[in-house]
Structure 1
Amino acid sequence: MPPGAGEESVTRRTDTLFCRTTPLLTLQFVDITYRIKNPNGIKSGGSGVIASMHNSPPPPPCSGERTILEGITGAAAAGELLAVLGPSGSGKSTLLTILAGRLPRPHGGAVLANGRRATRSVFRRVGYVPQDDVLYPHLTVRETLTYCAMLKLPRERVRLAVEAVMEELGLNGCGGTAVGGAFVRGVSGGERKRVAIGHEMLVNPRAVVVDEPTSGLDATAAGRMVATLVGMARRGRAVVASVHQPASRVYRMFDAVMLMAEGRCLYYGRGRDAVDYFASVGFSPEPFVNPADFMLDLANGVTQIDCEADATEKARIKLSLVSSYNAVLAPKAKASVNASIAASTATSGESARTGIERSGEKEPKDFTRISWFGEVSVLLRRSLKERRHETFNSIRVFQVAAAACLAGSMWWHSSIHNAHDRLGLLFFISIFWGVFASVNAVFTFPQERAIFAKERASGMYSLSSYFVARTAGDLPMELILPTLFVLAVYWMASLRPEIGAFALTLAVILSYVLVAQGMGLSIGAAIMDAKHASTVVTIIMLAFLLTGGFYVQKVPIGMRWMKYGSFTFYGYRLLIAAQYRGTEMNSYIGGEAAAAAEGQIGVIESVVALMIMFVGYRILAYAALRRIKI
Structure 2
Amino acid sequence: MEVHNGEGMELALATSANITNEDTCVEVDIEEEYTFPAKDGPLPIFLKFEDVEYKVRVVSKNLMKAAMVSVASHLRMEQGSYKKILKGISGSVGPGEILALMGPSGSGKTTLLKTLGGRLGGDIKGHISYNDTPYSPSLKRRIGFVTQDDVLFPQLTVEETLVFAALLRLPTNMSKQQKHSRVDAIIKELNLERCRHTKIGGAFVKGISGGERKRTSIGYEILVDPSLLLLDEPTSGLDSTSASKLLMILQNLAKTGRTIILTIHQPSSRMFYMFDKLLLISEGHPIYHGKARDSIQYFSSLGFLPEIAMNPAEFLLDLATGHVEDINIPETLRCSLNPEEFSMQVIKFLQRKYKTEVEPEDKKENQQASKAPKHLRLAIQMKKNWTMNWLDQFVVLSRRTIRERSKDYLDKLRLAQAIGVAILLGLLWWKSKIGTEAQLRDQIGLIFYICIFWTSSSLFGAVYVFPFEKLYLIKERKADMYRLSAYYASSTLCDLVVNIFYPIIFMVILYFMADFRKTVSCFCLTVFAILLIVVTSQGTGELLGAAILGIKRAGVMASLVLMLFLLTGGYYVQHIPKFIRWLKYISFMHYGFRLLLKVQYSGDLMYNCQSKGGCQSLQTSPSFDTIDLNSGLQEVLILLAMALAYRLLAYFCLYRRISITSF
Q: Normalising TM by the smaller chain, what interval?
A: 0.7 to 0.9
2:97 to 68, 80, 86: 80
Counterpart in the other structure of 1:118:
135
Against the structure 1 CA distance between its residues 454 and 146, is the aligned structure 2 distance closer, same or farther, given a 3 Å change threshold?
Answer: same
2:185 to 157, 164, 168: 164
1:371-424 deviations in whole A, cap 9, x for unaligned?
A: 211111111111111111133345544554553344334323322432111111
1:427-479 deviations in whole A, cap 9, x for unaligned?
A: 11111211221122111112212211211221211122112112112112222
Counterpart in the other structure of 2:157:
140
CA distance in 2, matches of 1:198, 1:32: 30
Amino acid corresponding to residue 455 of structure 1 in structure 2: E
Against the structure 1 CA distance between its residues 117 and 348, is the aligned structure 2 distance closer, same or farther, given a 3 Å change threshold?
Answer: same
Against the structure 1 CA distance between its residues 368 and 97, is the aligned structure 2 distance closer, same or farther, given a 3 Å change threshold?
Answer: same
1:272 CA displacement: 0.1
CA distance in 2, matches of 1:220, 1:531: 39
Counterpart in the other structure of 1:444:
465
Counterpart in the other structure of 1:234:
255
CA distance in 1, matches of 2:121, 2:631: 49
Helix, strand or coil for the counterpart of 1:21?
Answer: coil
In the alignment, structure 1 residue 26 sits paired with structure 2 residue 46: yes
CA distance in 1, matches of 2:415, 2:103: 48
CA distance in 1, matches of 2:403, 2:78: 52
> TM-score, normalized by length of structure 1?
0.88
2:389 to 371, 391, 410: 371
1:126–1:206 contact (8 Å) kept in structure 2: yes
Counterpart in the other structure of 2:406:
388
Counterpart in the other structure of 1:338:
367
Against the structure 1 CA distance between its residues 565 and 205, is the aligned structure 2 distance closer, same or farther, given a 3 Å change threshold?
Answer: same
Against the structure 1 CA distance between its residues 280 and 400, is the aligned structure 2 distance closer, same or farther, given a 3 Å change threshold?
Answer: farther
Counterpart in the other structure of 2:268:
247
1:622 to 651, 658, 662: 651
CA distance in 1, matches of 2:426, 2:104: 61
CA distance in 1, matches of 2:287, 2:255: 27
1:61 CA displacement: 11
In the alignment, structure 1 residue 583 sits paired with structure 2 residue 600: no
2:37–2:44 contact (8 Å) kept in structure 1: no
1:573–1:599 contact (8 Å) kept in structure 2: no
1:193 CA displacement: 0.9
Against the structure 1 CA distance between its residues 95 and 558, is the aligned structure 2 distance closer, same or farther, given a 3 Å change threshold?
Answer: same
1:83–1:257 contact (8 Å) kept in structure 2: yes
CA distance in 2, matches of 1:336, 1:415: 92
1:473 to 478, 494, 501: 494
1:347-370 deviations in whole A, cap 9, x for unaligned?
A: 4225555745xxxxxx3x343222
Q: Which runs of 5+ in 2 are unaligned?
A: 1-22, 25-35, 63-76, 329-337, 608-615
CA distance in 1, matches of 2:622, 2:38: 73
CA distance in 1, matches of 2:218, 2:631: 57
1:439–1:520 contact (8 Å) kept in structure 2: yes
1:583-629 deviations in whole A, cap 9, x for unaligned?
A: 33764766141433636894431001011011111111111122222
CA distance in 1, matches of 2:38, 2:593: 58
1:518 CA displacement: 0.5
Against the structure 1 CA distance between its residues 373 and 569, is the aligned structure 2 distance closer, same or farther, given a 3 Å change threshold?
Answer: same
Against the structure 1 CA distance between its residues 183 and 337, is the aligned structure 2 distance closer, same or farther, given a 3 Å change threshold?
Answer: farther
1:159 CA displacement: 1.1
1:38 CA displacement: 1.7
1:335 CA displacement: 2.6
1:19–1:237 contact (8 Å) kept in structure 2: no
User: For the pair shown, which has the larger CA radius of gyration, 1 or 2?
Assistant: 2
User: Which residues of 2 match residues 481-630 of structure 1 at below 5 A?
Assistant: 481-584=502-605, 587=616, 591-596=620-625, 598=627, 602-627=631-656, 628-629=659-660, 630=662
Q: Which runs of 5+ in 1 are unaligned?
A: 1-6, 9-15, 43-59, 357-362
Against the structure 1 CA distance between its residues 311 and 385, is the aligned structure 2 distance closer, same or farther, given a 3 Å change threshold?
Answer: farther
1:260 CA displacement: 1.4
1:348–1:355 contact (8 Å) kept in structure 2: no
1:157 CA displacement: 1.8
Count of matched residue positions in the alignment of Structure 1 and Structure 2: 588
1:200-247 deviations in whole A, cap 9, x for unaligned?
A: 111331111011111111111111111111111111111111112211
Counterpart in the other structure of 1:323:
352
Against the structure 1 CA distance between its residues 567 and 412, is the aligned structure 2 distance closer, same or farther, given a 3 Å change threshold?
Answer: same
CA distance in 1, matches of 2:96, 2:626: 74
Amino acid corresponding to residue 58 of structure 2 in structure 1: N
1:36–1:66 contact (8 Å) kept in structure 2: yes
Counterpart in the other structure of 2:241:
220
CA distance in 1, matches of 2:324, 2:631: 82
State the identity as a percent. Answer: 38
1:512-562 deviations in whole A, cap 9, x for unaligned?
A: 111111111112111222221222222122111111110001111112111
CA distance in 2, matches of 1:487, 1:315: 75
Question: RMSD of the TM alignment (CA)?
Answer: 2.6
Counterpart in the other structure of 1:209:
230
CA distance in 1, matches of 2:190, 2:54: 35
1:93 CA displacement: 1.2
Amino acid corresponding to residue 491 of structure 1 in structure 2: F
Amino acid corresponding to residue 83 of structure 1 in structure 2: A
CA distance in 1, matches of 2:197, 2:516: 47
Against the structure 1 CA distance between its residues 348 and 355, is the aligned structure 2 distance closer, same or farther, given a 3 Å change threshold?
Answer: farther
Helix, strand or coil for the counterpart of 2:150?
Answer: coil
2:58 to 25, 35, 38: 38
User: Which residues of 2 match residues 93-132 of structure 1 at below 5 A?
Assistant: 93-132=110-149
Helix, strand or coil for the counterpart of 1:598?
Answer: coil
2:278–2:289 contact (8 Å) kept in structure 1: yes
Against the structure 1 CA distance between its residues 429 and 106, is the aligned structure 2 distance closer, same or farther, given a 3 Å change threshold?
Answer: farther
In the alignment, structure 1 residue 348 sits paired with structure 2 residue 367: no
1:140-196 deviations in whole A, cap 9, x for unaligned?
A: 110110011111222242111101111111111111001112221111111011111
> TM-score, normalized by length of structure 2?
0.84
CA distance in 1, matches of 2:380, 2:398: 36
Amino acid corresponding to residue 264 of structure 1 in structure 2: H
